[in-house]
Structure 1
Amino acid sequence: MKALIPTRIAVILYGIVIALFGLIHFVHADIMVAAVPIPGGKIWLYITGLALLLAGIAFIINRYVRLAGYLLAFYIFLVILLVHTPHAFEDLTSMTMLMKDVGLLAGAILAGNTGK
């Protein structure tokens, strides 16, 4: 089935946002390292930053979109489970971050479903 032009534009915009999140992992690793719940700290930020960057590129160039979308959804699910859920009900900011990531997870699945 042929994707509609607005759907393709939405996937490209989503890819740009995800790629920017990946770049943020590199630029602000020193700040973000405190939120990493597993040993290894910065190395995980660099690995996930690269993965986010590659997923964003896959969405933009329309290659490996299904794989990128589903792997991104799995990664975001882990972030929700390991990073946000333990602190979700402590304050409004934590709950907002959790809800944002649920939206990003849904977007990753939807974007992945547009791929071949």
Structure 2
Amino acid sequence: MKISTRKIGIILFTLPFIVSGLFHFVNGKGMAMAISAFPFAEFLIYFSGATLIAGAIAIIINKFVRLASLLLALELFIITISVQVPGLINPQTMQDSMIGLLHNVSLIGGALLIHHLSRKSTL
């Protein structure tokens, strides 16, 4: 069985989405407290967990890659603006929020790169 660096890269890129999506289901109630100001916070947590997993699987199996990568980038942008950016204001959460923000920015960049590259050939 031949495994290419391209396939390894795709799996490594999508792994954080799958793990994070699973965490949304394991700790949905706890995560919902972080966005309790939003209506239907708990539903949003479970929904976003499902979309993270679905997007990662779509990229891994090479189906709807352009759509999945663009939607993952959009979802991460919304999460970054609504969770990490407000945390930068509080000195007690500033460092953790900055780490999350930088993490999300790098994943957004990767998702946009996959979106761009997938129009030229299959991933």
User: Which residue number corresponds to residue 21 of structure 1?
Assistant: 20
User: Which residue number corresponds to residue 114 of structure 1?
Assistant: 117
CA contact (8 A) 1:15 1:56 kept: yes
Please list the CA deviations of residues 21-79 of structure 1 after superposition, one character each: whole Å capped at 9, or x if unmatched. 11111111121111225111110011111100100101111111111000110111111
**Identical aligned residues as a percent:** 33
TM-score in terms of structure 2 length = 0.82
Per the alignment, in what secondary structure is the counterpart of residue 22 of structure 2?
Answer: helix
1:80 aligns with 2:80: yes
1:12 aligns with 2:24: no
User: Which residue number corresponds to residue 105 of structure 2?
Assistant: 102
Letter in 2 for 1:32: M
TM-score in terms of structure 1 length = 0.86
Gaps of 5+ in 1: none
Q: Please report how far the alpha carbon of residue 6 of structure 1 lies from its aligned counterpart in structure 2 after TM superposition.
A: 2.2
Q: Please report how far the alpha carbon of residue 100 of structure 1 lies from its aligned counterpart in structure 2 after TM superposition.
A: 1.0
Per the alignment, in what secondary structure is the counterpart of residue 118 of structure 2?
Answer: coil
Q: CA–CA distance in 1 between the matches of 2:103 and 2:15?
A: 16
Q: Please report how far the alpha carbon of residue 113 of structure 1 lies from its aligned counterpart in structure 2 after TM superposition.
A: 2.5
Letter in 2 for 1:109: L
Per the alignment, in what secondary structure is the counterpart of residue 114 of structure 1?
Answer: helix
CA contact (8 A) 1:25 1:45 kept: yes
The alignment covers a number of residue pairs equal to: 112
CA contact (8 A) 1:15 1:58 kept: no
Deviates more, 1:89-98 or 1:61-70: 89-98
CA contact (8 A) 1:70 1:109 kept: yes
Q: What does 1:57-76 align with in structure 2 at a 5 Å threshold?
A: 57-76=57-76
Gaps of 5+ in 2: none
